[in-house]
Amino acid sequence: MTERALRLGTRRSKLAMAQSGQVAQAVRQVTGRPVELVEITTYGDTSREHLAQIGGTGVFVTALRDALIRGEVDFAVHSLKDLPTAQPTDLVLAAVPEREDPRDVIVARDALKFTDLPRGARIGTGSPRRMAQLNAYARAHGLDIETVPIRGNVDTRIRYVHDGELDAVVLAAAGLNRIGRIDEVTDFLSVDTVLPAPGQGALAIECAAGNADLIAALGELDDPFTRVAVTAERSLLAALEAGCSAPVGALADLLADGQTVNEMRLRGVVGTTDGTRMVQLSTTGPVPQTETQAIALGRDLATRMLAQGAAGLMGERAH
């Protein structure tokens, strides 16, 4: 008798379906079992409000987690940057696969790069983090831009540019890679210009804490370097008590000496959305060997950022 298909809970968006399809294929290979996608509509998919207003973190996750807890699906795939920093006790993050490109990118009219946009260029993004850093960069380099809050899926956002409503939009490279549209990018934003969201480019595979066999099988997809990096980034975010509506950027990257990876650098930034006030710091240390060490790295950097006034820059807390 063939084993029952594993049920993978996913959001219905084109991007979510693409990344869940890729995970499903990998899970089929490690388990030898069929995997079926179960489409779940989340509040974040149906609400037309801006993410910062509806609480940001968790709006794309809660319905998937509820389905897991009720046993309607066996595991779920999330964009890791959407996960709240607090982990429910009855669910476990079974795998964090190898991360995609964490950078933000610009899709602009006339194939323009960010620094070549005309004076007064209107740049669309739904992210206060992106607004803060783009405005700060523009201010520092004599550029004149206007950041415009937008929502919608990738198609909707890029259409704003094609229709002439906006000069450019900012998106995540990872998402465009996963849906096969990376060739539409007109500029890759260096992480020195815009630090990504904590966990950007990484996926989270979550299942019930009591399902030991599935946890072990999914664990084969885990990438230990990606996991310690995103753990440090999310620890920084948690220590800054920041929801998605706070403009926090963070990136942990591995520093290699020749072929040997020997250190991890964690960078963090928080700022006002107009880019007038920013706190940006980094720390470098040995590559964390445990989750506890990765958490400590993030917490230590957050403490230094708070000492430099980060808390006062974060605007409204997301409740």
Indicate which residues carry an active-site annotation. Answer: 81-82, 129-130, 151, 157, 244
The span from the CA of 251 to the CA of 195, in Å, is 7
Q: Does residue 121 contact residue 146 with C-beta atoms inside 8 Å?
A: yes
**Residue bearing tokens 């974040």:** 44
